[in-house]
Structure 1
Amino acid sequence: MAGDSRGVERSVEQTLGHLRTLDSAAIDASAPPLTLEDLYRQQRMRMVRLAILLVDDPATAEDVVQEAFTGLYRNWSGLRDARAAIGYLRTAVVNGSRSVLRRRKTAREYQPPHQADARSAESLAMLTAEHQAVVAALAKLPRRQREVLVLRYYGNLSEAEIAEATGVSRGTVKSTASRALDALQKLMGG
């Protein structure tokens, strides 16, 4: 395993080193940028490539770099020299990329609270009293129990398919279904 990680590390080092060399060749390091416009022309694509490597999305990377240059513009008069601007940009791009990744993670993890859908009067009228009681009891079950029963009996899915859809094991599907049926029986009074 250690040999594999060294090989991966070597590949990453070679690839990123190659990109760094390409970026460095495109910039005349001996002539510092004199204006923000010069800096933008010289460093924009390099910063975009850096952001792409961090956020893995060209459009988002462009936005991160644009925000970094906007911040630099606001703080231009406070910089000690033009060389410090490159460090400022690099830090701003890394921090902006981190913020993007944090927001992505938060968005993926967010699950809105369950809101029972109001059923139409027609659909309720078509249900017998017993069916209405089952639907009402289902709405009172915890989210996972409700999902398992709906996927099993409405979706007609197998335990394996339910496990895949909900991201739990087959054993958890079985036990959840059993507990849900017990809870429904209690909720329906018998």
Structure 2
Amino acid sequence: MPYALPLPLAPSWWSRLLARVPVRERRPRLRVVAAPHGGGTAPPTLTELYLARRLDMVRLALFLVDDLPTAEDVVQDAFAAVCRAYGTSLDGLQDPGAYLHTAVVNAARSVLRRRRTARAYVPPHPGAGAPVDEGLLLAEEHRDVLDALAELTRRQREVLVLRYWSELTEEQIARTLGLSRGTVKSTASRALDALERKLAKRTETGR
């Protein structure tokens, strides 16, 4: 069964999106074992983290970069960053899931920066279209939601995706993005208003 949202009511744009996205698999439970000598619990290995979180992280990255092959590259880069920092055993990493969220967001930001730089020098041209495999994650029917998300500021998009897709709390989002909790709350409010307006406009114009 899909996760319940942490808010009492999901915004209407999220309901529209969720209705068209295949039901998310329950996240595999990460291994938690007692550390030797009474040292608390040991983190999962990098392989276990990859198997448990990869698909969810690809979906997260897809909302941020709007391109499945790039989203997959973003997640690979994020796992590589985790490995470089903590090795395959992840010893010393207190919260692997939170660190992975931050790594994916940072990798997506790098992609978007490179994309903006490239567009500044290369005339825009139509893309080749979504690959067939993208249907496994997001159906073509809700392209309007992705397009509207892409029109938000980077911070607004990150806050909404982490809040309503990754289901992080305001405190967790603040840690992931390096913001204050108040900034997260105000950004989410403004972003929801902006997204609702954009989706309403697309509905009225049939775009």
Interval containing the TM-score (normalised by the shorter chain): 0.3 to 0.5
TM score, norm. by length of structure 1: 0.45
TM score, norm. by length of structure 2: 0.41
Higher helix share: 1
* Higher relative contact order (CA closer than 8 Å, sequence separation 6+): 2
